[in-house]
Each structure stands twice: as structure tokens, then as C-alpha cells.
Amino acid sequence: MTTSRSLPAPAFARRLNRARRLWEWLALATGVLIAVKVVSYLYLAFASYVVERTGSRVTAGIDSPAVQAWFQIEIWWDITVILLGAVLLIVWLRLIWLSAVLAERISPGSVRYAPWVAVAGFLVPIVSLWMPVYTMSDLGNVFAREEGRSTDAFPWIPALIVTLALVSFGLDAASFDISGSAPIDMASARTALHLAAAGGAGKLLLLLACDGFLRAIRPGQEIALADLSSRERAWGRPDGDRADSR
């Protein structure tokens, strides 16, 4: 097996493109599932308010076949969201790894962390508050220079990604804390639902921000890969395309 660090540029590009395509499909699927959950949270909050004010489940629509069917599948929907989210995180880290490796190949020392350290920085508590910002900022700067454009004075997209992650999962934690307390009245239940809906909306924005970052660095990556491929041809490595087809 050929490692990413020693892969010829065409084979490296194929790996990167496969990871990008997988990210796009998973992000879309996860986003759709989360959006449906946000709608369901808002509906349930509205329905509980109607029931509390009118005492009528019919007016709220709670007993409708569609709502009852949703209650039957909701747990499986949640499990699917969790599983897709876990796979999506793995693919995101894979893209960060590949991007860091590519940055090191075209400009050694341009990323302050080694690829594996950059990936670990997204997972380790506390340091995940700042290491991802530095990593993504470095990657953005490297590939911006490949395009010949100026780098951002402030890494606002990386900072936005970390902020959205903190806020969205923090809202989830607050919602779970309220809904897990007993006894819980309807007003508190609505608050928990509103927090969960806000957390879901935050995750949708997080997906958009992550996708925006990947799209922002993509042109520079393509230029870098084309440059690496040209160098390899000049160095007499015409078999690069066949080195790894995975």
C-alpha cells in the first residue's frame, strides 16, 4: 500500500476527489435528516402549546396518522442521524488529513501541525477550541497562495466552524438537561424543544460552513496537484497514474 505522503499526484488527486464526493453526499443526506428533525421539534412545541391552551389534541393534530407514523419511526431517524454524523466526521477528518499532507508536499512547514496532530486537534477536548482554527487557517493560507490571492487577515470561516460546533452541541446539551429532569411541565418541554430546534439549525449552518471551507480551498488544491503532476513528469515518473487506483 502506498501512503498518501508518497503517492504520485494523479493517484493522490483520485483519493482526494473520492473523499470530496463522499463528503458531499453524506453532508446532503445528513442535512436533510436534521432539517426534518428541526421541523418536528418546532411542530411538537407548537402542538404542546395548542393542547395546553385549548385542551384539544385534535386541534393540535397530535393524533393524526402522519404524526403517529412519525412517532413510530423517530427513534430510527435519530439513530440514522447519529450514524451518518459519525461517518461524516470521519470523512471530514480524512479531508483535513489529505489537505495537510498536500500542503506539506507543496510547501513544507506551511502547516504548524503534522497531519495526524492536525486531525487529533479536532477530537481532543480543550485543544479542539483552538487547534482546528489554526489548522484550517494554515490550510486556507497555503492554498490561497497557490491561487495567487491574498490570505485572510482573520480566519473567520475556521472560527465560525468552531463557534457553530460549540453553540449547536451546547444547545443540545441544554435541551437534554431540561428534558431529562423530572417532573417536567409543558412550558419546560417546549423550551427543550426550542433549544433542540436551535441546535439542529446550528448544525445545518455548521455543515454549510464546513462545506464552504472545503470549496474555498479546492481551487488551490487543484493548482497544487497540477503543479506536482508536472514536476513528477519532469522527474520521469510517467507511471504515477497507475501507482494507486484506490
Per-residue pLDDT of 153-211, as tens digits, reads 568 999 999 999 999 999 999 999 988 876 778 888 899 999 999 999 999 999 999 99
Q: What is the pTM of this model?
A: 0.88
User: What is the Cα–Cα distance from 26 to 40, expressed in whole angstroms?
Assistant: 21
Cβ distance 27 to 207 under 8 Å?
yes
Provide the percentage of residues in the chain whose pLDDT is more than 90: 67
Task: Name 152's Cβ contacts closer than 8 Å, sequence gap at least 6.
Answer: 137, 140, 141, 144
- pLDDT at res. 3: 54
User: What is the Cα–Cα distance from 40 to 229, expressed in whole angstroms?
Assistant: 50
- pLDDT at res. 236: 67
Q: Where are the domains of the chain?
A: 9-241
User: What is the Cα–Cα distance from 213 to 140, expressed in whole angstroms?
Assistant: 8
Q: Is the preceding omega at residue 183 within 30 degrees of 0, hence cis?
A: yes
Per-residue pLDDT of 78-105, as tens digits, reads 999 999 999 999 999 999 999 999 999 9
